[in-house]
Amino acid sequence: MELDSPARLAEALDAQGYLADEGVATAAYLALAMRRPLFVEGDAGVGKTALAQALAGALGAPLIRLQCYEGIDAAQALYDWDFPRQLLHLRAVEAASRAAEAGPADAERLEGELYSRRFLLARPLLQAIEMHPSVLLVDEVDRADDEFEAFLLEVLSDFTVSIPELGTIRAETPPVVVVTSNRTREVHDALKRRCLYHWVEHPAFEREVAIVRRRYPQATGRLAEQVTAAVQRLRGHDLLKPPGVAETLDWTEALLALGAQRLDADTATRTLGAVLKYREDHDRVVRSGLSGLLAEAVGGA
């Protein structure tokens, strides 16, 4: 399938099990057409990572994931040297020299061997630059620090890496890049300017039901609608972590594991840990009246 329009891309994503709305499909299409990174923000669990996975499937390209975290640095994202293997090689050369009663190995030649490509560990950024085609997912960039953001901006600007011992490595064709953020902190404007931006909303009721039915076709339409309605009402509460689509799917799976065909107060109470992941949120919902919330959800669905 040629991805020559947002609608065609939405169809390709649909074939991968990702139901994209018009905004997501248009943003992803423009990122492909303009060869720009796509920066997607939104609450946790709305499908940002899943979008990159579906894009990789639609393009028939491997997904290379760089998971960001506090303290990540360039070596962990770009490349590093395999020091244990280098040490083993050095010892093997020394042992061979002694066995052959030869003189010490030439230092320059040995250094060239130690810092050859065979001992280079390519991390996600270098893998994406060298592999064509590929989809690079820079996940949760808001967890990294300012210095890593600046480094990432430099790499995404020209997809070129300079390795002193080997030279410059340049991408023949830049990878498709998806950068995600849960907005735990503000990402600098310089990085956002390099990208196309899209905020991913929680899906509308009908689309979220469709997502549940797509993932769990064994779920009845009634169960999918009741779970979705309950989750969407939970999002309206003042929770530490409002449930995302991922929690809607988790709750549905938990109910199916218990053989439930509908959502009632008993099964909801026993499986609430699948949708609420903080004790404070659990207690708040129970105190505010879980039965009433479920009655609204079941009645609305």
Tokens linked to 18: 């990702």
Q: Quick one: pLDDT band at residue 288, thresholds 50, 70, 90?
A: confident
* Average of per-residue pLDDT across 172-195: 94
More confident residue, 296 or 198: 198
Give yes or no: residues 35 and 130 share one domain: yes
The verdict on 142 and 191 lying in the same domain is: yes
Say if residue 94's pLDDT is above 90.
no
Residue 297 within any structural domain of the chain: no
Is residue 146 scored above 60 in pLDDT?
yes
Q: What is the mean pLDDT of the chain?
A: 90
DSSP state of 47: S
Does residue 301 belong to any structural domain of this protein? Answer: no
pLDDT of residue 101: 56
Among the residue ranges 57-61, 189-193, 251-255, 263-267, the one predicted with the least confidence is: 263-267
Q: Are residues 162 and 281 in the same domain?
A: no
Q: Are residues 106 and 151 in the same domain?
A: no
CATH code, 48 = 3.40.50.300
Let me know if residue 98 belongs to a domain: yes
AA letter at 288: S
- Per-residue tokens: 10: 């939405």
pLDDT at 125: 96
Closest residue by Cα to residue 82 from 40, 121, 33: 121
Q: Return d(Cα 110, Cα 89) in angstroms, integer.
A: 9
Query: How would residue 299 be classed by pLDDT, with cut points 50, 70 and 90?
Result: low
Residue 301: the pLDDT is 57
For 198, residues 6+ apart whose C-beta sits below 8 A from its C-beta are: 23, 24, 27, 38, 39, 40, 41
**Is residue 109 one of the residues assigned to a domain?**
yes
**131 and 116 co-located in one domain:** no
Instruction: Provide the whole-model pTM.
Output: 0.86
Mean of the pLDDT values across residues 56-69? 97
Residue 101, in any domain of the structure: yes
- Asked whether residue 191 falls in the same domain as residue 177, the answer is yes
Residue 100 has pLDDT above 90, yes or no: no
Q: Which residues pair with 2 in a beta bridge?
A: none
Q: What is the mean pLDDT of residues 192-210?
A: 95
Domain stop point among 120, 146, 181: 120
**Same domain, yes or no, for 216 and 255?**
yes
Report whether pLDDT(105) > 80: no
Structural domain for 99, as ranges? 79-120
Please give the pLDDT value at position 114.
Answer: 82
What does the pLDDT read at residue 107? Answer: 58
Q: Is residue 43 part of a domain?
A: yes
Domain boundary among 139, 172, 199: 199
Do both 127 and 84 map to the same domain?
A: no
Q: For position 289, what pLDDT does the model report?
A: 78
Domain match, 19 and 59 both: yes
- DSSP class of 104: P
Question: pLDDT per residue over 228-282, tens digit each?
Answer: 999 999 998 889 999 999 999 999 999 999 999 989 888 888 999 999 999 999 8
Q: Kindly state the helix (H) or strand (E) to which residue 161 belongs, with its residue range.
A: strand 160-163
pLDDT at position 57, please? 97
- Confirm whether 1 is domain-assigned: no
Are both 65 and 84 inside the same structural domain?
Answer: no
Assigned domain for 180 exists: yes
112 and 92 within one domain: yes
Q: What is the 3-state secondary structure (H, E, C) of the chain?
A: CCCCCHHHHHHHHHHCCCCCCHHHHHHHHHHHHHCCCEEEECCCCCCHHHHHHHHHHHHCCCEEEEECCCCCCHHHHCEEECHHHHHHHHHHHHHHHHHCCCCCCCHHHHHHHHCCHHHEEECHHHHHHHCCCCEEEEECHHHCCHHHHHHHHHHHHHCEEEECCCEEEECCCCCEEEEEECCCCCCCHHHHHHCEEEECCCCCHHHHHHHHHHHCCCCCHHHHHHHHHHHHHHCCCCCCCCCCHHHHHHHHHHHHHCCCCCCCHHHHHHCHHHCCCCHHHHHHHHHHHHHHHHHHHHHHC
Looking at the predicted structure, is the pLDDT value of residue 22 above 80?
Answer: yes
The total domain count for the chain is: 3
Residues 95 and 224 in one domain: no
Q: Give yes or no for residue 62 having a pLDDT over 90.
A: yes
CA 95 to mean position of chain CA atoms: 46
**For residue 106, what is the enclosing H or E element?**
none
Question: Given this model, what pLDDT does residue 116 score?
Answer: 85
Looking at 142, 168, 199, the residue that finishes a domain is 199
